[in-house]
DNA sequence: TTTTAATCATTAATATATTAATGAAAATCC
DNA sequence: GGATTTTCATTAATATATTAATGATTAAAA
């Protein structure tokens, strides 16, 4: 019967971990007028100049329908820009504005500090082990939709 | 600079794990007309006859403002009932109806099967280790609000 | 080449999350 | 015992998640 306790099921453990970790980060984001999802989008754009919406959804882990609204509000805030591809007019690229890029140096130090503090609550070896095990749970990453996967096995 | 890769930060790893794990469970819930949150509430009520809203929020990991709506819809669906406490008229208790209890034997086997299959993707020892490490991240569980915590240190 | 199927961004409808605030009731303080 | 503070459930406003569907475009098949 009690094959597992509900409160100790993997999903609940994952949710609980997020509930423990995220509030302090969200507090930082909010100081800069950002939501968590808006920050995730910017975080990606700080590493890649120009990202298609589809890839952006994969990298930010924001579902495409939600991403539309997140991008809308970031654009309204003047932090990003949309650009429609010429080669494939279905595709939309997202780029950070100067204002959006400037946010990088203001937000990241705060986030890094909070993250470092978080890491200090654990042994480095345990931290690495945790990420390994989470990788196992996530399984083989589904290949980005924008690459032709099928080429490999036919 | 690259103290950590964004895609391998703990929050993103946790989100990715949930994205990998939850869809199959949600598919089961939806077969029975339940959302994930509705299922979580029922899952708690299948173990405890009567639960106060506050404790229910803690056990289901659903924030209180969201829980109000979840409970509303479960009540509208005839799966639960509200009862206001006589001793403390601020408190509201939630109880599963007969229909809500009957759902237990129909849903749980499906969920257990899916969960067992999920566990088989890992060595039991690794599984246990993962839960231990997640416990470390979650830190000392904040004591349920409905108990008088302060008694202990004053 | 014409038809068909797949992809991409988006909309729609509903449910939930987040944050702050509120009214009612209870506990605490003086 | 009356004023103050807490607690509890709830509302409010906005943002995001979930699932299904749509229109426009491109790729693939016949």
Cα–Cα dist A140/A50, whole Å: 26
pLDDT reported for residue A142: 56
Residues of chain A contacting B118 with CB distance shorter than 8 Å: 10
Residues of chain A contacting B115 with CB distance shorter than 8 Å: 3-4, 9-10
The single-letter DSSP state of residue B122 is S
Cα A135 to Cα A128, B88, B121: the distances in Å are: 11, 47, 12
pLDDT reported for residue A114: 96
| Chain D, protein-covered positions (CB within 7 A) | 7-13, 15-21, 23-28
Subunit contact A61:B135, Cβ cutoff 8 A: no
Confidence check: pLDDT of A1 > 50: no
pLDDT reported for residue A95: 97
Q: Is the pTM of this model over 0.85?
A: yes
Look at B147 and A22; give whichever has higher pLDDT: A22
Q: Which residues of B112-129 are buried (b: 16+ CB within 10 A; e: fewer)?
A: eeebeebeeebeeeebeb
Cα–Cα dist A129/A132, whole Å: 5
| pLDDT, mean of residues A2-31 | 92
pLDDT digits (tens, 9 = 90+) for A99-137: 999 999 999 999 999 999 999 999 999 999 999 999 999
pLDDT digits (tens, 9 = 90+) for B30-47: 999 999 999 999 999 999
pLDDT digits (tens, 9 = 90+) for B94-131: 999 999 999 999 999 999 999 999 999 999 999 999 99
Q: Say which nucleotide is closest to residue B22, CA to C1' distance.
A: D18
In this structure, are residues A103 and A111 in contact, taking their beta carbons and an 8 Å threshold? no
The single-letter DSSP state of residue A48 is -
Task: Give residue A152's pLDDT band: very low, low, confident or very high (50, 70, 90).
Answer: very low
Subunit contact B15:A61, Cβ cutoff 8 A: yes
Task: Give residue B3's pLDDT band: very low, low, confident or very high (50, 70, 90).
Answer: low
pLDDT digits (tens, 9 = 90+) for B18-31: 999 999 999 999 99
- Output residues with Cβ under 7 Å from nucleic strand C: A 22-23, 26-27, 30, 52-54, 64-65, 68, 71, 82, 88, 90-92, 145-146; B 35-38, 62-63, 65-67, 69-70, 73, 87-90, 148
Residues in chain B: 154
pLDDT reported for residue B140: 79
Confidence check: pLDDT of A148 > 80: no
Q: Say which nucleotide is closest to residue B89, CA to C1' distance.
A: C25
Confidence check: pLDDT of B151 > 50: no
pLDDT reported for residue A96: 98
pLDDT digits (tens, 9 = 90+) for B64-101: 999 999 999 999 999 999 999 999 999 999 999 999 99
Residues in chain A: 154
pLDDT reported for residue A59: 97
Helix (H) or strand (E) holding B95: strand B92-96
pLDDT digits (tens, 9 = 90+) for A37-82: 999 999 999 999 999 999 999 999 999 999 999 999 999 999 999 9
pLDDT reported for residue B79: 97
Subunit contact A138:B20, Cβ cutoff 8 A: yes
**Of B5, B7, B8, B20, which is closest to residue A56 (Cα–Cα)?**
B7
């Amino acid at each position: 019967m009690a094959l597992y306790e509900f409160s100790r099921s993997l999903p609940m453990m994952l949710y609980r971990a997020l509930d423990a970790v995220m509030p302090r980060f969200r507090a930082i984001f909010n100081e800069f007028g950002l939501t968590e999802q808006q920050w995730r989008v910017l975080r990606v754009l700080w590493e890649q100049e120009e990202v298609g919406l589809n890839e952006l959804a994969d990298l930010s882990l924001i579902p495409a329908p939600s991403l539309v609204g997140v991008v809308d509000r970031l654009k309204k805030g003047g932090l990003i820009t949309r650009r429609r591809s010429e080669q494939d007019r279905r595709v939309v690229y997202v780029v950070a504005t100067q204002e959006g890029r400037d946010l990088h140096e203001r937000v990241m130090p705060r986030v890094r500090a909070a993250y470092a503090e978080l890491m200090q609550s654990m042994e480095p070896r345990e931290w690495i082990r945790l990420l390994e095990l989470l990788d196992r749970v996530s399984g083989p990453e589904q290949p980005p939709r924008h690459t032709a996967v099928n080429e490999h096995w036919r």
